[in-house]
Amino acid sequence: MTIVLTGGGSGGHVTPIIAIAAELKKLNPEAKIIYIGQKGDKMADIPAQDPNIDETYSIYAGKFRRFHGEGLKQLLDIETFVKNARDFFYVLIGIIQSWRLTREIKPDVVFSRGGYVSVPVCLGAHLNQIPYITHDSDPIPSLANRLIARWASLHAVALPKDIYPYLQSKTVTTGIPVNVNFVKVTPALKKEYREEIGIPVKAKMLFIIGGGLGSQIVNKAVCEIVPHLLRQYQDLRVVHIAGASSENFVHADYERNLSPQERGRVKVFGYISDVYRYSGAADIVITRAGATTLAEFALQGKACIVIPSAFLTGGHQLKNAEYLEDQKAIIVSNEIDLVDNANRLAKQISQLLENSKKQTELCSKLSEFAKPDATRQIADIILGLAKNET
């Protein structure tokens, strides 16, 4: 049995693929798992190094650039227009590459997690009469999945299927596949994680992650407020995941603004593969509002301050955050306000650090949205379709 997994462009696309690959190998160790990604994708090294993925390939894929809230203004931007026109031809090249590749590989099924690379891969598979499955994490389907929806054999979705514009008989609610290491964090497990990463058991701990590629806005705001928080809370420890391209900038900023003693209470990484260990050890997590990320922290049951990106297409992070905020499961910090005044975020952190009851309430509420069987369910669907059982 040969299975192709595709998707990319962000950690929210790649990490579920890694989780699914592991589950597929667990259920069918003889299955050959192949990943097809996009040329130049900064996240491509992750599946390439994963032991559960047997082969990786990369193809050309275009990107249609548009930004939430920009309206017609973005259509008049010359640079954006030129890049979109160029990438149209990348899509055509990618379809030809995918047609040739899937004809050669002859996979039994293709699973698309989304991202621009999924369009040429799935269309190439369709031309070779190979079935494929799409997956949507957000309440609004991505443009990529909308483009390939017509010929999909099945649509796996994170939320109740009736809110999606797909044929209901081909749609199934599964939740979001996440790494098997994201589990409910008990006090004993939290203590274990802290011992593993060198954080005092009784210290306060703040964990910041701005997505797989990092976030300049989040990094800048956090670097501004962390020195004040460290001076306010002498037992505070901070772990900051800055993104590979911003790691040096964040390191330099802390070097300038922290004393040697304070620097000893801050850890900065560009990227880590064991996010679960650091988030599980934390009292408070500051994060973006990607659906995969929120699903991971829901499984752990973490108290989260969420900074949704205000400019991503369709405003899907804003919708993710709005829904959970309405359920009192997270605290939201407005990105636009953050640019002008990071002190509001500092105040939210302080109030939460000093209110253990509120932390517990947030942990409990977010846990209600956890779907621990999502990865297994999707793997079963993929294997079923590969065996013509779906």
Give the per-residue pLDDT at 139. 84
Position 190 pLDDT exceeds 90? yes
Share of the chain above pLDDT 70, in %: 91
Residues 6+ apart with CB under 8 A from 64: 84, 87, 116, 143
Beta strands in 270-377 (DSSP E): 284-287, 303-306, 331-332
* 251-259 long-range contacts, CB within 8 A, separation 24+: 253/223, 254/223, 254/226, 257/223, 257/227, 258/226, 258/227, 258/230
Joined together, the tokens standing for residue 316 give 């899907």
Short-list 57, 56, 2, CA closest to 32 = 2
Position 295 pLDDT exceeds 80? yes
Q: Which of 130-134, 136-140, 210-214, 233-237 has the lowest mean pLDDT?
A: 210-214
Residue 39 DSSP one-character state: T
What mean pLDDT comes out for the span 190-196? 98
Q: How far apart are the first and last CA of the chain?
A: 16
Q: Where exactly are the structural domains of the chain?
A: 2-177+372-386, 187-367
Q: How confident is the model at residue 383 (pLDDT cuts 50, 70, 90)?
A: very high
Share of the chain above pLDDT 90, in %: 74
Q: Are 293 and 275 in contact (CB under 8 A)?
A: no
Q: How confident is the model at residue 154 (pLDDT cuts 50, 70, 90)?
A: very high
Q: How confident is the model at residue 114 (pLDDT cuts 50, 70, 90)?
A: confident
Give the per-residue pLDDT at 211. 72
Q: How confident is the model at residue 250 (pLDDT cuts 50, 70, 90)?
A: very high
Give the Cα separation of 191 and 266 in Å (integer): 19
Q: In a 3-state reduction of DSSP, which class is residue 253? A: helix
Please tell me the number of Cα atoms within 13 Å of 338 on its side-chain side: 25
What mean pLDDT comes out for the span 345-373? 96
Place of tokens 């483009």: 147
CATH code of the domain occupying 2-177+372-386: 3.40.50.2000
Burial of 86 (0-12, 13-18, 19+ CB in 10 A): exposed
Give the Cα separation of 282 and 151 in Å (integer): 44
Give the per-residue pLDDT at 186. 97
Q: How confident is the model at residue 310 (pLDDT cuts 50, 70, 90)?
A: confident
Give the per-residue pLDDT at 61. 87
Position 89 pLDDT exceeds 60? yes
Strand partners, 2: 32
Same fold, 2-177+372-386 and 187-367: yes
Q: Which of 115-129, 193-207, 208-222 has the lowest mean pLDDT?
A: 208-222
Question: What is the length of the chain?
Answer: 390
Joined together, the tokens standing for residue 303 give 């108290």
Position 234 pLDDT exceeds 70? yes
Position 212 pLDDT exceeds 80? no
Domain 187-367 class in CATH: alpha beta
Give the Cα separation of 344 and 354 in Å (integer): 16
Give the per-residue pLDDT at 390. 53
The string of DSSP codes covering 86-118 is: HHHHHHHHHHHHHHHHHHHH--SEEEE--STTH
Joined together, the tokens standing for residue 238 give 């901070």
Residue 166 belongs to what H/E stretch?
none
Q: Are 328 and 300 in contact (CB under 8 A)?
A: no
Give the per-residue pLDDT at 213. 63
Position 314 pLDDT exceeds 80? no
CA 370 to chain centre: 15
Distances (CA, A) of 197 to 30, 42, 250, 322, 363: 35, 26, 20, 33, 22
Which of 8-22, 263-277, 312-326 tops mean pLDDT? 263-277
pLDDT tens, 18-65? 999 999 999 999 999 999 999 888 777 889 999 999 999 999 986 655
Q: Are 268 and 247 in contact (CB under 8 A)?
A: yes
Which of 182 and 67 is assigned the larger pLDDT?
182
Q: How confident is the model at residue 259 (pLDDT cuts 50, 70, 90)?
A: very high
Calculate the average pLDDT of the chain.
91
Phi-psi label, residue 211: left if phi above 0, alpha if psi -120 to 50, beta otherwise: left
Short-list 190, 192, 231, 184, CA closest to 207 = 190
Q: In a 3-state reduction of DSSP, which class is residue 193? A: helix
